């Protein structure tokens, strides 16, 4: 009796291998991303702070106090090191330079022998960020920060870079206080872009500039992420009546874009259909969009169902707030 192709050992191994990849790769890639982020922070933030702390310990060992003489090398060790350096070099180093080097080695050895010293840089960085946030939240802190920003914005080269960097950082971390308007992705929308009949998912960022609205009427600014790298894309200004809101969250939209449309939100999954375009099957080619409504300015919690889809494309009057 012949063995079917799907049950042959070769195809069984292939199926099991692919199934194992599907199970392991998500967790492995997630751990790899976190490990890479940890190494970056440790190398560029925590370790420089730890280096400053070790230097402070070495300096404290040279003065009177709790650390006075704690990491000081013995005179015999210094003389032996000076003699070894003198034999290997025509210009022997000074005794003070050798003493400082040995002191730094003692501090580093002590630092590496204690587990609680390694996260010191992370703790200091977190504490510094917290303290700065508390200071800037007060009147005096805001005044000092404003003066600091004036110095930066009056410095050549820095003033061309700092405002853009500040706006991007504020985009992700601003607390949306009343004193400043927070730029944020607050809606997931679709627009016909780059041509009619092709619908692109975008993130609503706000209203368009006055100069644009003078030409187009009431318009909105939409960021259209690229796939599979949604941190790049295009910024377009579209008439308000041509912007349609999707009943999905921003996280669901980003997962959809990163996966190239493979990962569909569970509540938006449709029944499987033939992927051949309707024109090739002789079917009607009219465009239909389920669970899509023209943008109304409501919050992201608004849920739109098939029964809520309007049957006309009449422009929505501007909202008055």
Structural domain spans, the chain: 11-122, 137-173, 187-264+292-307
Return the H-helix or E-strand segment holding 44: none
Q: Give the gyration radius of the chain's Cα atoms.
A: 31
pLDDT recorded at residue 285: 46
Do 172 and 184 contact (CB within 8 A), yes or no?
Answer: no
What percent of the chain stands above pLDDT 70?
75
Identify the segments of the chain with pLDDT beneath 70. Answer: 1-11, 171-186, 273-321
Q: What is the pLDDT of residue 318?
A: 45
pLDDT digits (tens, 9 = 90+) for 161-201: 888 888 777 766 665 543 344 445 668 999 999 898 999 99
CB 237 within 8 A of CB 217: no
pLDDT of residue 221: 92
The pLDDT of residue 313:
42
The predicted structure's pLDDT at residue 186: 67
What pTM was estimated for this model as a whole? 0.55
**What secondary structure letter does DSSP report for 319?**
P
Helix (H) / strand (E) containing 192: strand 187-192
How many other CB atoms are found less than 10 A from the CB of residue 172?
A: 9
pLDDT in tens, 233-251: 889 999 999 999 999 988 8
Q: Which two tokens stand for residue 113?
A: 């022998």
């Amino acid at each position: 009796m012949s063995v079917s192709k799907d049950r042959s050992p070769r195809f069984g191994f292939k199926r099991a291998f692919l199934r194992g990849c599907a199970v392991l790769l998500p967790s492995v890639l997630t751990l790899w991303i976190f490990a890479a982020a940890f190494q970056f922070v440790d190398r560029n933030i925590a370790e420089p702070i730890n280096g400053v702390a070790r230097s402070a310990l070495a300096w404290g060992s040279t003065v009177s106090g709790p650390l006075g003489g704690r990491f000081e090398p013995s005179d015999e060790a210094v003389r032996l090191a000076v003699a070894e350096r003198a034999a290997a070099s025509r210009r022997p180093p000074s005794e003070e330079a050798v003493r400082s080097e040995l002191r730094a080695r003692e501090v580093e050895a002590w630092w590496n022998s204690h587990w609680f010293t390694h996260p010191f840089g992370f703790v200091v960085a977190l504490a510094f960020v917290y303290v700065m946030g508390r200071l800037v939240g007060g009147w005096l802190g805001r005044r000092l920060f404003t003066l600091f920003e004036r110095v930066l914005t009056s410095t050549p080269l820095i003033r061309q870079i700092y405002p853009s960097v500040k706006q991007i950082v504020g985009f992700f971390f601003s607390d949306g206080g009343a004193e400043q308007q927070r730029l944020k992705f607050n809606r997931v929308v679709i627009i016909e872009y780059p041509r009619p009949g092709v619908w692109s998912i975008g993130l609503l960022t706000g209203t368009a500039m006055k100069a644009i609205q003078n030409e187009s009427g009431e318009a909105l600014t939409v960021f259209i992420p690229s796939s599979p790298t949604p941190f790049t894309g295009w910024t377009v200004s579209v008439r308000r009546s041509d912007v349609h809101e999707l009943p999905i969250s921003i996280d669901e939209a980003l997962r959809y874009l990163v996966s190239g449309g493979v990962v569909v939100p569970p509540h938006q999954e449709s029944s499987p259909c033939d992927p051949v375009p309707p024109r090739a099957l002789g079917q009607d080619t009219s465009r239909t969009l389920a669970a899509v409504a023209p943008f109304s300015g409501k919050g992201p919690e608004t849920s739109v169902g098939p029964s809520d889809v309007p049957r006309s494309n009449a422009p929505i009057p501007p909202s008055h707030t």
